[in-house]
Amino acid sequence: MEKKQVVDLDFSLQAVPASHRNGFWRMLVVMLGFTFFSASMLSGGTLGLGLTMPEFILIVLAGNLILGAYTGTLAYIAAKTGLSTHLLTRYAFGEKGSYLSSFLLSATQIGWFGVGVAMFAVPVQKVTGIDTIILIMIAGLMMTATAFFGMKALAILSFIAVPAIVALGGFSALKAIDTVGGFGALMQHQPTETMSLAAALTICVGSFISGGTLTPDFTRFADTKRTSVITTVIAFFIGNSLMFAFGAIGAIATGKSDISEVMFLQGLIVPAIIVLGLNIWTTNDNSIYASGLGISNITKIKKSKVVIFNGILGTVLAMWLYNNFVGFLTLLGSTLPPIGAIIIADYFILNRGKYGNFVKMKFQAVNWTAIASWAMGAALGKFAPGIPPLNALIGTAVVYVVLSLIVKKVTAASSTTIEVKKVSKA
C-alpha cells in the first residue's frame, strides 16, 4: 500500500503554491492583526505627549507611508515568488549566509513574543490578583497554539480580534476624548516637553520596521501581487495608525499610553482584559510563527515543531525581556532593516525583478558582499546622524549594490586575465 505523502501546509522550505493562496479579506485581517500591538501604542503615547496634534498626525502619516512603502515592496516580492523572508535571503546572502539573517530575525521575534506575554500578564495581575507566572504560562501556551496551526489559525484569530479591538478600543478612546473636553480640546493640546520631528519620525518608523521585515512570511500566501501590496499598505496606514492614535489619546487624557490601561482606569475591567489579550495575541502569534520559519530555514526541521520550542523559550524569558525592553528595541532597530533593504536591492536592482526558480537554484554558500553590506548598514543605522531606520535602509541598499557591482567587475576582469594567460601558453 502506497504511503500518503504529508504536505507541509506552512511551506517552511518551499514556495507557497497557487492552490494554497488566500484572497483579499483573509490577507487583510491577518495583516491588520499583525500591526495591532501594544508597543505601537506606547510609542504613540510618547509622540502624543511630545507633539501638538497636527504634528502628531503629520508624523504618523509620514512614518506609516515609509513603513507602508518598505513592507509593501517586500510584500510584492513575496507574492510573486511565494517565498518567506528566510528563503528570499538565500538569493542575496547564500544558503548558509541566510542562516545569519534567519537567526537574527528569529531571535528578535522570540524576544517580541516574550515581551508581549509579559505585557499581558503584568497589568492583568494588578487588577485580578492572579499570579503573574500562571498568567504568563497560560498566555504563552495559547499564543503558541495558534502559531502552531499556521496561517488558517492566524486568520481565524484575526477575524475575531480585529473588529473587537477596534470596537472596544474605539469606545474607550471616545470616552477618553470626552475627559479632555472633546475633539476640539484634543486638537488644541500643547505638549509640556516638545520633541523634534526627526526624533518623532524615528520613533514612528522604528517601532515596527523590524517586524515589517518579516512581511513576506505572511504575504507569500496572497493570491495576487495586488492583494499582497494593498492589504499590507492598508494594514500599516489603518492598523498601525490606529494603535498610535489610541496611545496618544490615552496618554493625553490619563497619562497612560496603552488603551487597556486607560480602560482599567475607566472601570472597564473585562473589556480591558479582552482588548489587551487580543491585541497582543494577534501580533505574538505572528511573531512566533515567523521565528519558526527562520529556525526551520537553519535546521530544516518542520516549522510546527520549531514553534513549540520557540514559544516555550519566549514564555520562560518573558519577564527578563520585559524588564530589558529599551535595550531590546535598540538592538532591533539597528540590525533588522538592513536585511530587508538587501532583499529589495538584490531583487529589483541586481536581478531586475526576477529570481530563478527556487527548486532549481544552486545557491552559493555565503555571499560575503551581503554580509559586509548588512554590517555596514547596521552601523549606519546606529551611528550615522539623521533618522536611524532610514539611514539603515537606504545606506545598506546603496552599499550592497555598489559592492556587488565592484565584485562582479573584479571577478570578470580576473576571469579575462586567466583566459588570456591560457591562450598565451597555448
Domain boundaries, the chain: 19-425
Cβ 318 vs Cβ 138: under 8 Å: no
Tracing cell 475591567 back to the chain, one arrives at 269
Tracing cell 516555550 back to the chain, one arrives at 312
**C-alpha to C-alpha distance for 136 and 120, rounded to whole angstroms:** 8
**C-alpha to C-alpha distance for 422 and 137, rounded to whole angstroms:** 68
DSSP 180: T
Tracing cell 528569529 back to the chain, one arrives at 106
**C-alpha to C-alpha distance for 266 and 254, rounded to whole angstroms:** 10
Q: Length of the chain in residues, anyone? A: 426
Taking alpha carbons only, the member of 269, 258, 235, 205 closest to residue 67 is 205
What pLDDT score was predicted for residue 3? 45
Q: Determine the 3-state secondary structure of 222 from DSSP.
A: strand
Q: Which CATH number fits domain 19-425: 3.40.50.460, 3.60.70.12, 1.10.4160.10, 1.50.40.10?
A: 1.10.4160.10
**C-alpha to C-alpha distance for 373 and 342, rounded to whole angstroms:** 8
DSSP 19: G
Please give the chain's pLDDT, 426 residues, in tens: 444 445 667 788 899 999 999 999 999 999 998 888 777 888 888 898 889 999 999 999 999 999 999 999 999 999 999 999 999 999 999 999 999 989 988 888 888 888 889 888 988 888 888 999 999 999 999 999 988 888 888 888 888 888 888 888 888 888 888 988 898 888 888 888 888 888 889 888 888 888 889 999 999 999 999 999 999 999 988 888 998 998 888 888 888 777 777 888 888 888 888 888 888 898 888 889 999 999 999 998 888 889 999 999 999 988 888 887 656 655 665 688 899 999 999 999 999 999 999 999 999 999 999 999 999 999 998 888 888 888 999 999 999 999 999 998 888 776 666 555 555 555
- pTM for the model stands at 0.89
**C-alpha to C-alpha distance for 272 and 107, rounded to whole angstroms:** 30
Tracing cell 501580533 back to the chain, one arrives at 283
Residues 6+ away with beta carbon under 8 Å from 336 = 104, 105, 108, 209, 210, 213
Q: What is the dihedral of CA 107, 109, 114, 117, to 10 degrees?
A: -170
Helix (H) or strand (E) run with residue 299 in it: helix 269-299
DSSP 22: B
Encoded amino acid at 221, one letter: F
What pLDDT score was predicted for residue 2? 44
**In degrees rounded to 5, what are phi and psi of residue 222?**
-70, 145
What pLDDT score was predicted for residue 416? 62
Taking alpha carbons only, the member of 216, 197, 291, 232 closest to residue 64 is 232
Q: HSE-up of 299 (CA within 13 Å, CB side)?
A: 16
